[in-house]
Structures are given as C-alpha cells and as structure tokens.
Amino acid sequence: MFNFLLGLAGVELRDTARRAATTVILLAIGAVLLGVAVIGVMAAIFFALAERYDPVVAALLLAALAFVAALLLLVVAYVRLKHRPRRAFPFAAARPAAASLAAMAPGAVPPPGGKPPVSGKILLGVAAGAAVLGLILGRRI
C-alpha cells in the first residue's frame, strides 16, 4: 500500500516537473525570438534615422531611446519591489473589528473615523483638469 502511494506521488512529481520544463523551454525560445525581433527593430530604426539625419545622430537617438526605456523599466521594477501588497490576516472573520471592540468596552470612546483615501479616478480627473487649464492658459499667453 505504501509503495503504491509513493508511486502515485512519483508520477505526479514527474508530470509536474515535465510541465515546468516545457514551460521553461517555451519561455526561453520566446525570449530569444523577442531579442531577435528587438534587434531587428532597432536596426530598422537606425537605418531610417541614418537616412534622415547623420549616422552618429541616429546612433545617439537610438541609445537615448534605449536608455529611457531601460530607466522606465528599472523604476517600475524598483517600485514593485518596494510596494509589497499587504496580506490579509488569515483569520479575519475570527478577529473582531476595532469598532466592535470599542463598542464592547463600556464608556470607551470609539476611534475617530478618518477620511477615506483619495481614489485614483479623482486624482486622474484633477490631473486632466490641470493639464487642460495649463493648455488653455498657455495658448492665451
């Protein structure tokens, strides 16, 4: 019986390892093909810019574009690294909320209800309004 269970676990482990190896191989092939495509696009951009401008200027523009793209990706990776999502307490239903704790204690003052954080939609609306206002004022001046 024990050998049978170990055999079943071994089959499951082999299948999992095979799926993982297939995924890694597909990702590696995809990464190589993506690298070839990026090099081809960069060469095409270089040739197009070299015809329009000087080859040195084309190389500098392409290097600046690659630098900005790399900097943007590094900043996004750094922000994602530092901003870890908080995990909820696993037994959140078993833990009473702070408001119910305050209500349980006789004569206790409930915690002040703070303002909710500003949503992203509001911030986006304010930023869009400021951009439109700046555009209008910039045209007038």
Confidence (pLDDT) at 33? 95
Tokens of 82: 């530092």
pTM of the shown model: 0.45
Domain residue spans in the chain? Answer: 1-85
Confidence (pLDDT) at 31? 92
CA distance readout (Å), 15 to 19, 28, 38, 52, 56? 6, 20, 34, 55, 54
What is the signed CA dihedral for 64, 65, 70, 72, rounded to 10 degrees? 110
**Contact status, residue 49 vs residue 62, Cβ threshold 8 Å:** yes
Confidence (pLDDT) at 101? 55
CA distance 138 to 140: 5
Low-confidence ranges of the chain (pLDDT < 50): 141
Confidence (pLDDT) at 5? 63
**Contact status, residue 16 vs residue 32, Cβ threshold 8 Å:** no
Confidence (pLDDT) at 115? 62
